[in-house]
Chain A
Amino acid sequence: MAEAVKHEQTLPSHPEKATLEGKNKFLGFWFFLGGETVLFASLFGTYLGLRNGVADGPTSQDLFHLDLVFIMTMILLTSSLTSVFAMINMKKGNFKGLIIWMWATVFLGACFLGFEIYEFIVYVDYGLGFTTSAFASSFYTLVGTHGGHVLFGILWISTLLIRYRKAGITLTNAPKFYVASLYWHFIDVVWVFIFTVVYLMGV
């Protein structure tokens, strides 16, 4: 039961990988992200294959405005940075710093999601429904799947933050926070590709 006890003073420098369970989680999660990469690659491939299939609907040139997407990108990149700060605090054993920076990450994630929903609403108003054209379907599927991942990340990290709000850093929760931040970076990287492939190549 040793791993359940608080070790605030004596935590190893990598609390997330100090137990076998932690190591397993860490490695397993990397593999999971490998699978996620193929998942998004498939969606990107589909989008690239269909992005000119606009039928009578609006084209990407009609719709995309880089300023909004640029703000979204900045928000998401910043949220990655705050999660890095959280991890640095975790490794230093500063629980309060961990919690605060993680909440900041969640907050920025929620802002991003808000903008995305706004963006979709604007596009729908403009005549790009989900079923309008193959371009529309593949666009919403790719970007929406990413948005779904952001939403899941927000719920997941919030759950951890509430569950462990008073626990301090332990060998049990350190891997959980660590893995959640890995996930967050991954979503961020995917967004960078979306920004490039969908928006920069689409205006």
Chain B
Amino acid sequence: MSNAQAQKSVLWDWLTTVDHKKIGIMYLVAGGFFFALGGLEAILMRIQLMFPNFDFVTAQTFNELLTMHGTTMIFLAAMPLLFGFMNYIVPLQIGARDVAFPFLNSLGFWLFLFGGVLLNLSWFLGGAPDAGWTAYVPLSSEYSGTGIDYYVLGLQISGLGTLIAGINFLVTIINMRAPGMSMMRMPLFTWSSFVASALILFAFPALTVGLLLLMLERLFGATYFAVDVGGNVVIWQHLFWIFGHPEVYILILPAFGIFSEVLSTFSKKRLFGYSAMVFATLIIGFLGFMVWAHHMFTVGIGPVANAIFAVATMAIAVPTGIKIFNWLFTMWGGRIQFTTANLFAIAFIPSFVMGGVTGIMLATSAANYQFHDTYFVVAHFHYVIIGGVVFGLFSGAFYWWPRMFGYKLNETLGKWFFWLFLFGFHLTFFVQHFIGLMGMPRRVASYLPGQGIDELNFVSTMGAFLMSVAFILLVVNVIVSVKNKSEADPWDGRTLEWAIPTPTPEYNFAQTPLVRELDALWYEKTHGNGKIKAAEPLDDIHMPNGSILPIFMSLGLFLASFGLIYQVHPVTIIGLAITLGAMFIRSIKEDHGYHIHKEDIKKEEGVG
């Protein structure tokens, strides 16, 4: 069969691609866009809070900004950006040519994108959702406009994409590993992506149900949350947090994985306590499901339940502490290189520990009555999410950029970016601990002067400006560095993704690699000839065909959502018919892909 792909246009190629590397890059681009959008929303909020009684935006707009900021950052920025790295890097790290379900992989991306676009269209169509990213009922069920409908359906669609992505990674990591790549030889980033995917699998369906109920309640008059006819509002909180707490670990675990790779590479040492790291990751993943009610201490679930959930929450600090010490010992005695990637990893440690400490404070259920719903909580979760997840994303970006885009980001600009961002971040959020302790509630559009929080709020806003300046430096860096062509292994890497040529060939590995040790490439560098051994002779490589169907499946749901929101059910039916029709075509059309010929591979690899 001939390579029909090659003749198609570039745009068509990207729209139909099932290549995990291209999908990874699309996740990064889309996630980066939403990250900037969420950042803009944050800056607008911080300007409003710069002075007491300030009149920059209305309270309604503030609520919408607040809701969209949180929702965007969690669902449309942090997670997709992590998926970008997972998609590109995980198959390379395990020596695979592709993921287990290339078609579903592309479907997952398009569902996420259409869901995200739907959610954001609410800005122009009657106002964005305004009930917080947690959308508590009855505020969201009875006192909010169409914005919440966009929230419900947008998240439902993008959540479906996330679920699909999670299953895909699980199966990829279990079934697609190269010979010799046993589970206990997998790089930590792959391990943490694996555990995070398992969390996605078991956490997201709870959100699916929550959103389904909220949708039925709002659009079809169901009464789960209507107390006057026997409903119960706490059910929403349970469903939301059964999903929501695992969600924060879905975010932080892959970031932990990135730090493990980066710290070990730039300390020129094997990761300290590899197996302890793996088990700590598994334990965190498991305990992550046992603690959701720590978000509900003040709801009134009773002292016994509160105590149990408090203790379970504090238990997570143990495996997390194990990890922190292992990172420190990895650096201990190493030849540390202070690259931008490594600076972010090093700065992560104290920043995240601070977030962990405030987490334990919050988990003290009695004290939580004082902290809950104040800026103290805001400070806590920004320390763990920015100091953890976002630092991880930046670290991973600087580390893997040469692999993904073939050029190195400028280190000088990178360091400026790092220091400005680090400083801005702590300036913004450190003071919020005190703002919260002094009693300023979270999610308020303004505050009165003379309560001792005016200056602190001003300082916080200044920090936010610094972070924006830093982010602009990153964008500049991405553009001006294009000329810094990178070699295939710029960091003297340890894992398989650095063993292949740059740019990465579409089949990844001309010959499936044979893995002989943990840190496979490093092992060959120190014990072999520096080249990965092949597990098979050079042969034709089978590749899956691209497909436009994922876009149609996602588009169908997108249309159906409008039908639901505006109760125009013919549109709903047409939308669903498009989706089901595309699924039907997919199901009856056997597509066996194509082959890349041995001769072409030889040419590309420059051998023979």
Contacts and interface: CB of A to CB of B under 8 A. Distances in A.
A132 B175 CA distance: 49
Contacts of A42: 205-206, 208-210, 239, 242
A131 interface: yes
Nearest to A129: B221
A50 to B, nearest CB: 6
Contacts of B232: 49-50, 53, 134
B562 interface: no
Interface stretch (A31-39, A85-93, A97-105, A112-120): A31-39
A159 to B, nearest CB: 6
B175 A23 contact: yes
A23 B175 CA distance: 8
A87 to B, nearest CB: 19
B231 A31 contact: no
Interface string B218-261: 00111110101111100100110010000000000000000000
Given A28-B101, A141-B216, A134 B229 contact: yes
Given A4-B592, A46-B213, A31 B587 contact: no
B394 to A, nearest CB: 31
Nearest to B220: A130
B42 to A, nearest CB: 32
A54 B230 contact: yes
B87 interface: no
A50 B229 contact: no
Nearest to B589: A163
B204 interface: yes
A127 B229 CA distance: 14
Contact of B223 (A34, A36, A43, A133): A133
Given A24-B100, A134-B224, A163 B587 contact: yes
A171 to B, nearest CB: 11
Most chain B Cβ neighbours within 10 Å, of A1, A3, A53, A134:
A134
B566 interface: no
Contacts of A134: 223-224, 226, 229-232
B477 to A, nearest CB: 39
Nearest to B230: A53
A38 to B, nearest CB: 4
Contact of A55 (B171, B229, B584, B587): B229
Contacts of B224: 46, 50, 134, 137-138, 141
Interface residues of A, number: 43
A2 B167 CA distance: 27
Given A31-B167, A35-B205, A45-B238, A131 B222 contact: yes
Nearest to B174: A27
B120 interface: no
Contacts of B213: 46, 141
B216 A137 contact: yes
Contacts of A133: 223, 229-230
A202 to B, nearest CB: 15
A53 B592 contact: no
A136 B221 CA distance: 11
A55 B170 contact: no
Contact of B229 (A49, A53, A159): A53
B243 to A, nearest CB: 9
Interface residues of B, number: 43
Contacts of A13: none
Nearest to B212: A141
A135 B224 CA distance: 8
A24 B173 CA distance: 11
A159 B584 contact: yes
Interface string A50-89: 1011111100000000000000000000000000000000
Contact of A39 (B209, B587, B588): B209
Interface string A144-188: 000000000000100110010000000010001000000000000
A194 to B, nearest CB: 15
Nearest to B234: A49
B201 interface: yes
B205 A46 contact: no
A61 B5 CA distance: 63
Interface in B141-168: 163, 167-168
A54 to B, nearest CB: 6
A24 B544 CA distance: 14
B590 A4 contact: yes
Contacts of B325: none
A24 B171 contact: yes
Most chain A Cβ neighbours within 10 Å, of B101, B208, B222, B223:
B223
A99 B239 CA distance: 41
A201 interface: no
Most chain B Cβ neighbours within 10 Å, of A3, A23, A172:
A23
Contacts of A45: 235, 238-239
Interface string A6-49: 00000000000000100110011001101110110011011001
B544 to A, nearest CB: 10
Contacts of B170: 27-28, 31
Most chain B Cβ neighbours within 10 Å, of A57, A137, A159:
A137
Nearest to B222: A137
B228 to A, nearest CB: 8
B369 interface: no
A192 B217 CA distance: 27
B246 to A, nearest CB: 10
A176 B586 CA distance: 12
Contacts of A138: 224
A132 B229 contact: yes
A172 B216 CA distance: 39
Given A20-B175, A130-B222, 4 more contacts: A42-B205, A54-B230, A131-B221, A137-B231
Interface of A: 1, 3-4, 20, 23-24, 27-28, 31-32, 34-36, 38-39, 42-43, 45-46, 49-50, 52-57, 130-138, 141, 156, 159-160, 163, 172, 176
19 contacts: A4-B590, A23-B175, A27-B100, A31-B170, A35-B205, A39-B206, A42-B242, A45-B238, A46-B224, A46-B235, A50-B230, A50-B232, A52-B230, A55-B229, A56-B229, A133-B230, A137-B222, A137-B231, A138-B224
Interface of B: 100-101, 163, 167-168, 170-171, 174-176, 201-206, 208-210, 212-213, 216-217, 220-224, 226, 228-232, 235, 238-239, 242, 584, 587-588, 590, 592
